[in-house]
Chain A
């Protein structure tokens, strides 16, 4: 694996390999010495043009646990605010000797741009670009769900997909790169995904995605899904009116106490974070024993360790795509 840019082009085989490696990586987090020497002497740059807490910290923890040197770059307080272009920034990183660049950017396609130019030779890992893709988030969601399904069936998760699982993704699909990446990855892994959102928060062309679309959350929950993923209402990307009022959104598409009671006993609740408590998810749902929000964060470090290991190891000549 040379880069990780989206989940649309990730094969089932590669996706399962990443999840399997992540399973072995997550063992390290429980050890006294939380460090592996695999990426000693390699430099990972976290190139963040957009605010982020958990993704950046997660990538930083992942790189450090693999003994890589980490350089954190955020657009605020850098030469980007003086007008430096992505090209010049990339060439600067190349000159510094970056082996991998983890990029978060408000423009969709920024990661592809870096991967396909000769500005920089480093492995590119997409940490979220505009409303396009956020592959490591989708992978950590898949890891969380896969572990849940395996525990329920009493089997080892290694080597398995998400075959037969049913996942409901609720909320602001229009602005969500997480939803896009989740739909494709979970479809590739054999799960059936249903998107639930007000029509104004569904993108044009959603009918061509490999998933079902439902407008009524109660109807979707009545089908007994294995997991419900609530998406954050992205106020910072909403410059128009997408729903009449916060109260109405919360009433029709929020996960409240009443809807919590509709779930099957095994169903889990996921949220990519940060949560708007009281808007898309109630405090009771967020803090319920079904919530896997913190497990998702922990799994995020393991998945990112796996991705960094896979893009940075292996001789160049033996690499495939």
Chain B
């Protein structure tokens, strides 16, 4: 629906790489992959990484509910990684967001971390540390909407919506209805946007 001529009016180099329909299809596929790898979605916990990972996790939980019948509220949570980041002294002060764990906790569960963009891998490193302080999951997996490469740590995603080869000078911006009014993924030159990719 957002794939209209209006996109041509975007500031110069912004390029839409995923449309709303493509995002939805990618999430549907990831949901089915999760059901398959967890043998029907047993002992599953979805933890979204704020801010857009939380929205994506909520959508995945709804799709999983449609497939497995388990209520979304029972498996959905959020995991704030702000206080575990390795760049707290090198960037502007970040305000932490709440961490919410579903009632069953994370011990011995299959935890799927959900984020919008996988880039350096440092956010996921912080998330693994944060998760470790919450309990001892049985298995930890990673689902991302976009993998843009340029990893700085030995981390990979188990479920990827789209692999997007990018240059380091570009910025990948995931926009979701919940926070930005519409669903789409844009690539822009780094100079033009602050970018939510990190």
Contacts and interface: CB of A to CB of B under 8 A. Distances in A.
Nearest to A23: B98
B84 A36 contact: yes
B92 interface: yes
Given A31-B133, A32-B135, A24 B99 contact: yes
Given A24-B99, A31-B133, A37-B129, A314 B91 contact: yes
A59 interface: no
Chain B binding surface SS class: loop
Q: What is the size category of the interface that chain B forms with chain A?
A: 20 to 34
Interface in A267-321: 309-310, 313-315, 318-319
A38 interface: yes
A24 B133 contact: no
Given A24-B98, A31-B133, A37 B83 contact: yes
B93 A35 contact: no
B97 A24 contact: yes
Contacts of A315: 89-92
Given A24-B97, A24-B99, A27-B99, A38 B83 contact: yes
B69 interface: no
Contacts of A201: none
A313 B129 contact: no
Contacts of B97: 24
Contacts of A213: none
Interface string A18-46: 00110111010001110111100000000
Chain A binding surface SS class: loop
Contact of A33 (B90, B92, B98, B133): B133
Q: What is the size category of the interface that chain A forms with chain B?
A: 20 to 34
Interface in B86-114: 88-99
A24 B80 contact: yes
B93 A313 contact: yes
A310 B90 CA distance: 13
B83 A309 contact: yes
B134 interface: yes
Contact of A37 (B80, B84, B90, B91): B84
Contact of B92 (A20, A31, A32, A314): A314
Given A31-B133, A31-B134, A309-B83, A24 B96 contact: yes
A158 B96 CA distance: 12
Given A32-B135, A36-B83, A37-B83, A318 B98 contact: no
Interface string B149-166: 000000000000000000
A35 B84 CA distance: 11
A313 B84 CA distance: 12
Nearest to B90: A315
A36 to B, nearest CB: 4
Contacts of A37: 83-84, 129
A31 B79 CA distance: 14
B92 to A, nearest CB: 4
Contacts of A32: 135
B143 to A, nearest CB: 24
Contacts of A314: 88-89, 91-93
Interface in A1-29: 1, 17, 20-21, 23-25, 27
Given A17-B95, A20-B95, A24-B80, 5 more contacts: A1-B93, A314-B91, A315-B92, A318-B91, A318-B93
3 closest A-B pairs by beta carbon, nearest first, are A314-B93, A38-B83, A318-B92
5 contacts: A17-B95, A24-B80, A33-B133, A36-B83, A37-B84
